[in-house]
Structure 1
Amino acid sequence: MFKTLLKPLLMLLVLVPGLALASDPGTVAAQSGNEAEVVWQAIQQGAEGRTVSESEFHAQLINPQDERLLPFRSDILAPGMALALFGMIAVFAAFIAVNGISKLHHGFSGKMVYRWSKADVAIHWLGAIPCLLLILTGLTLLAGRLIIEPYLGQQAFATMAAIAKPVHDYMAIPFMLGWLLMTVKWAKNQLPAKYDLDWFLVVGGYINFGPFKGKHPDAGFANAGEKVWFWTFALFGAVIAVTGVILLFPEYVEPSRNLSLLALILHASSAIIVTAFSIVHIFMATVMSEGGMECMVSGYCDENWAKQHHNVWYDEIKADGSLKYRD
C-alpha cells in the first residue's frame, strides 16, 4: 500500500525537472520511471531524509518490512480469523447434527457435588467474558473488510470498527488478569496423566456410534481435552498478552517499527488459535456435554455427571472424604 502511494509522488518529483530537459514524452516517462525505481531502492536500503519529527525513527521514510508483513495480515490472518470462528461453529453444528450430544446415561441424580469455588467461578468469567468480546472485536478489526464491508457497506463497517477498537483495548486488561489467575491457580489440575492417551483414543466417549459408542474413559479433575485447551490458552494467551501490551502501550514499551509489526502478526496468529479452541470449549461446555454448563454457573455438578466424565476425580474425593454436596 505504501509503495503504491509513494511511487506516483516520486515519479512526480523527478518528472517536473525532466520536462525542462526533454521534449519527447516517452523519454521523460522512461527517465522518470528509472529514477523513481532508484529512489525506491534507496529507501528500501535505509536511505534517510529530513523531518521536524522527534521520533526515534524520524529519519526513516518508510519501513520496507511493511511490504512483506501487511499483505500477510490481510491475505492470511484475516481469512484465518474468520475461518477459526465461523468454520469451527459450522464443524460443531454438523457434528452435533450427526452425532447428537453426550447425554448422562443414568440421567440426573439430583445430587450436586462441589467442584469449583466461588472464586474459581468468578475468575473463569473474568477471563471468559472479555475473551469473547476480544474475539468479536478482533474479528471486526482484523477481518471486517473481508466479511463485513462487502455485505453491510463501508459506512456500517466504519461504525462497527470505531466501536470495536475501544472495546478491544479496554477488554484487554481484564482478559490478561483472568488469564494470569487461571493459569497460576488451575495449572496443578492440568498435568498430564497416564490415562489421558486412552481418553483421546476413544474421543473422550462423546461419539454415539460405532466402536466408540458407550465408552467412558478415565479422567481426573480435568480430562485430556480440557488439559489441551488449558495449556493452549496458557501459552498463546501469554503471547496475546505480551504482544497486546506492546501494541497498546507503545509510549512505555517504545518498540521498534519491526517489533511492532512482528507483535501485530504474533498477536493475530495467537488469537486465531485461541479462537478456534474457544469455540470447541464453548460447544463442549454448553451443548455437547449434558449438565456440563452447571459447573461454571453454580460451581457444582450433578453426581452422575461427575461419575461419567471425571470418574478418577470423583473416586478420589469420595475416598479421602472431601466429597461435598450442595445443601
Structure 2
Amino acid sequence: MLLKSLRGLFALLVLPFVLTMGLGLSTSALAVDDQTSQQMANSSEVDLWHAVKTGDSGYTTKKGVESGVLINVSAIEATEIKNQYLTPAMGLAVLGVFGAFIVFYFVNGPSKLSKGYSGKMVLRWSKADLWIHWVLAISCLGLILTGINIMLGKHILEPYVGEGMWAGLIYASKFIHDYVGPVFIISWILCVVKWMPLQTFKMYDLKWFLVVGGYINFGPFKGKHPDSGFANAGEKMWFWTLTLFGLFISVSGMMLVLPGLDLPREASFAALLIHAISAIIIIAFTIVHIWMATVLSEGGMECMKSGYCDENWAVQHHNLWYDEIKANGTLEYKD
C-alpha cells in the first residue's frame, strides 16, 4: 500500500512537469514555425517588389502589349532624361539662339545691298513654291509654339496663371499640336520632293561657310560675297536639317498619337525622346532661318512674299544662279 501511494504521489508530481515541458516545447516549436513563415513571407515580399521595380512581367488576365508589367523602368528613366536634359536644352535653344542673334544684330547690323535696290524684280519662286513654303512655315511655327508650351509651360506659365487658365492652355496646345501635325507632314513631304534637286552641296559652298555667307560687316570678312547657286550653303544646311529631323519628328509623332499601334512602352518613350531631340534641333535652326531671311538680309523677305527678288540682291547673294538663268534665257522680270 505504501509503495502504491508513493508511486501515485510521484506520478502526481511528475505529470504536471511533463505537461508543462511539453507545452513549452510545443509553444517554442510554434514560435519557430511562425518566425520561419514570417521570414519566408518577408523574403517573398522582397522578391516580389524587386521583380516589380525591375520591370519583370507577371501574370494578368488582361491581354495586350506589356499588360503583365506593373512598373515600366524605361518610362521612369525616359522621364528623368526629359526633365533633366531635354527640357533645359529646349529652353536654351529658344532663349540662347534668339539672344545670340540679337547680340549679333546690334554688333554687326544687317547685310546691306552693296549697290542698293535696282528696282528690277527677278522671278525666283513659283506660286506653288510660295504655297508650300507658307503652309510649312505656319504649321511648323504652330507646332513649335504649342510644343514649347507643352515642354516648358509648367515652368514659365503655370506658376503665374490660374489653374483653370493653365488647364485650358495645355489642353489647347495638345489639341492644336495633334491636328496641325498632319499638315506639317504633308507640306514637309512636298517641300523635300520639290526642292531636293536644288540642295546638293558644291565645293564653292565651303567658302560660303568660311566667310559666314558675307553677312559680317567688320574685319577681314567685310564685303566678302561668296559664290552661291540657287540656294546658298546656309539654306542647304537648313534644308537637310529639316529633311532629316523632320522625318524623325514625323515618324515619332505618329507613334505617339496613333492609339491603334499598341506599341510597347519602351518604343513609346523612345519615340518621345526622339521627338523632343528633333524638336530642339528644328527650333534652333528655325530661329536662325527666320533671322537670316528677315532681319539680317536686306531684301531677302521679299522673295517669299511675292516670289520675286531684287536683281541686285540676286547678284549679291546668288550670283551663280543669276548668271545661269541669264545665260540660258530663263531670266524673267516682274511686269
SS at match of 1:65: helix
Once the two structures are TM-superposed, the CA of residue 154 in structure 1 deviates from its matched residue by: 4.6
The question of whether the paired residues in 2 share the 8 Å contact of 1:48 and 1:60 is answered with yes
RMSD after superposition: 2.1
Cα distance in 2 for partners of 1:155, 1:90 equals 32
Equivalent pairs, count = 299
Counterpart position of 2:314? 306
The answer to whether residue 56 in structure 2 is matched with residue 46 in structure 1 is yes
Q: CA deviation at 1:214?
A: 0.5
Q: How many Å apart are 1:55 and its aligned residue? A: 3.0
Counterparts of residues 173-322 of structure 1 (less than 5 Å): 173-251=182-260, 253-322=261-330
* Code of the aligned partner of 2:206: L
Distance 1:37 1:304, change over 3 A: farther
Asked whether the equivalents of residues 55 and 70 of structure 2 are also in contact (C-alpha less than 8 Å), the reply is no
Sort the Cα spacing of 1:94 and 1:47 in 2 relative to 1 into closer, same or farther, 3 A. same
Q: d(CA) in 2 for partners of 1:167 and 1:255? A: 23
Deviations 1:67-96 (A, max 9, x none): 211111111111111211122111111110
Task: State the distance in 1 between where 2:45 and 2:86 align.
Answer: 32
Distance 1:116-1:171 versus aligned 2 partners, 3 A rule:
same
Residues 114 and 324 in structure 1, CA contact (< 8 A), matched pair in contact too = yes
Map residues 88-237 of structure 1 onto 2, 5 A cutoff: 88-152=97-161, 154-237=163-246
- Counterpart CA distance in 2 for 1:188 and 1:60 is 49
TM-fit CA distance, 1:272: 0.3
Structure 1 residues 213 and 123: CA distance shift in structure 2, 3 A: same
Q: How far apart are residue 159 of structure 1 and its match?
A: 2.4
Structure 1 residues 36, 309: closer, same or farther in 2, change over 3 A?
A: farther
Range with greater deviation from structure 2 (99-108 or 31-40)? 31-40
| Structure 2: tracts of 5 or more residues without a match | 1-33
Give the letter aligned to residue 247 of structure 2: A
Alpha carbons 2:65, 2:262 under 8 Å: kept: no
Does the aligned pair in 2 maintain the 1:49–1:61 contact within 8 Å? no
Quick one: percent identity of the two aligned structures?
A: 53
One-letter amino acid of the structure 1 residue matched with residue 205 of structure 2: D
Q: Distance in 2 between matches of 1:97 and 1:179?
A: 33
| 1:25 corresponds to | none
Q: Quick one: distance in 1 between partners of 2:50 and 2:218?
A: 63
Distance 2:134 2:44 in 1: 59
Give the gaps of 5 or more residues in structure 1: 1-20, 23-27
The one-letter amino acid of 2:214's match is: G
Letter in 1 for 2:285: F
Residue type of the partner of 1:46?
D
Q: What CA deviation, in whole Å up to 9, does each residue of 1:170-219 have, x standing for no partner?
A: 11011001110111110111001110000011000000000000110000
1:68 is the counterpart of 2:44: no
Query: Structure 1 length as normaliser, TM-score?
Result: 0.87
Q: Deviations 1:151-176 (Å, cap 9, x if unpaired)?
A: 44554433211110000001101100
* TM-score with structure 2 setting the length: 0.85
Instruction: Tell which structure's C-alpha radius of gyration is larger.
Output: 2
What secondary structure sits across from 1:301 in the alignment? Answer: strand
